[in-house]
Amino acid sequence: MQSRREPNRTTSSPSPDFGARAARYDELRPVDENWWELFDTLVRAGDLHGRRVLEIGCGTGALAVALSERARVWAIDTSPEMLAVARDRAGSERVGWRVADATALPFRDGWFERVVARVVLHLLDRPRALAEAHRVLAPDGRLAIATFDPAHFDRYWLNELFPSLERIDRARFPSPDVLESELRAAGFPNVELARVSQTAEITRDVALAKVRGKHISTFDLIDGAEYEAGLARAEHELPDPVRYSVEWLVVAATARSR
Ligand SMILES: C[S@@+](CC[C@H](N)C(=O)[O-])C[C@H]1O[C@@H](n2cnc3c(N)ncnc32)[C@H](O)[C@@H]1O
């Protein structure tokens, strides 16, 4: 399937290409115990069960489908390739999938009780996307977000291999303070922040497959020479297993009553 560049209005740097990573996304970023722990935390923080929910930047649809067992779910993404994988997922018929941009949602004002966004805010023009989330939420509706806490980038397992990766991701992912003030400006006066700290262990082969498959979009933003040098070092230096921590920020924000 032909790949397509994704819109990224946050910087003038090249945009990550999710179309190109759709086919292997689930293999390289699997739904595992940590995924379910974060899912349960998001569901609780966002009070998502039994609600009319929109997921923005749904990717290959794991969250939307899992949630659709207990909620009425719509899910949008700009990448037709990611959505094609989502539509092939078991249970996908329960979700209303749409190719759409989070900054121009094809839904009427106040249509949803909840909006959820997992690992996508760093890719968006956040003031516009948060204003759109607010527009489609009913009065007192709730926005639930999972994103990486700045602590995630302190000792990430790829930092030493790819020296510019940490700087790029610290600049892309909003700090809790920035996110909170962006949410307030977009009409979410009540913001609750929580942190989820996880540990992960993967075999050296799995770690190498992730690097070779450029499993995180940050790989699209480092130059080719740095990538090749880091991959060569990874092939020589990665231990077996690779252990690392994953530091999440979970945010629940309630929309101001209209
Ligand atoms: C890192 S992936 C996360 C996917 C999924 N939420 C997950 O947790 O696995 C980010 C997703 O956001 C999508 N995306 C990027 N910019 C977007 C935008 N402006 N509007 C909607 N989706 C967007 C990408 O196509 C990609 O599928």
CATH number of the domain within which 108 lies: 3.40.50.150
Instruction: Give 257's pLDDT tier (boundaries 50, 70, 90).
Output: confident
Give the per-residue pLDDT at 246.
Answer: 97
223 in any annotated domain:
no
- pLDDT single digits (tens) 161-190: 999 999 999 999 999 999 999 999 999 999
Amino acid at 56: I
Distance of alpha carbon 56 from alpha carbon 122, whole angstroms:
12
Distance of alpha carbon 8 from alpha carbon 233, whole angstroms:
30
* pTM for this model (two decimals): 0.93
158 in any annotated domain:
no
225 in any annotated domain:
no
Work out the mean pLDDT of the chain and round it to a whole number.
93
Please check whether residue 49 is in contact with residue 43, taking contact to mean a CB–CB distance below 8 angstroms. yes
> Domain range holding 100?
18-150+171-198+246-254
Please check whether residue 187 is in contact with residue 131, taking contact to mean a CB–CB distance below 8 angstroms. yes
With H, G, I as helix, E, B as strand and everything else as coil, classify residue 155.
Answer: coil
232 in any annotated domain:
no
Cβ-count burial of 36 within 10 angstroms (0-12 exposed, 13-18 middle, 19+ buried)? Answer: exposed
Give the per-residue pLDDT at 17.
Answer: 86
Nearest CA to ligand 1 atom 25: 79
240 in any annotated domain:
no
For a ligand 1 pocket test, name from 5, 17, 107, 120 the mutation site with the most ligand atoms within 8 angstroms of its C-beta.
Answer: 120
Question: Domain total for the chain?
Answer: 1
Nearest CA to ligand 1 atom 13: 57
Please check whether residue 177 is in contact with residue 193, taking contact to mean a CB–CB distance below 8 angstroms. no
Q: Is the CB of 25 under 6 A from ligand 1?
A: no
79 in any annotated domain:
yes
Q: Is the CB of 42 under 6 A from ligand 1?
A: no
- pLDDT single digits (tens) 19-38: 889 999 999 999 999 999 99
Instruction: Give 258's pLDDT tier (boundaries 50, 70, 90).
Output: low
Please check whether residue 213 is in contact with residue 28, taking contact to mean a CB–CB distance below 8 angstroms. yes
Contacts of 153 (CB under 8 A, 6+ apart): 159, 166, 169, 170, 173
Please check whether residue 117 is in contact with residue 146, taking contact to mean a CB–CB distance below 8 angstroms. yes
212 in any annotated domain:
no
Contacts of 121 (CB under 8 A, 6+ apart): 129, 145, 147, 173, 174, 179
30 in any annotated domain:
yes
Give the per-residue pLDDT at 6.
Answer: 38
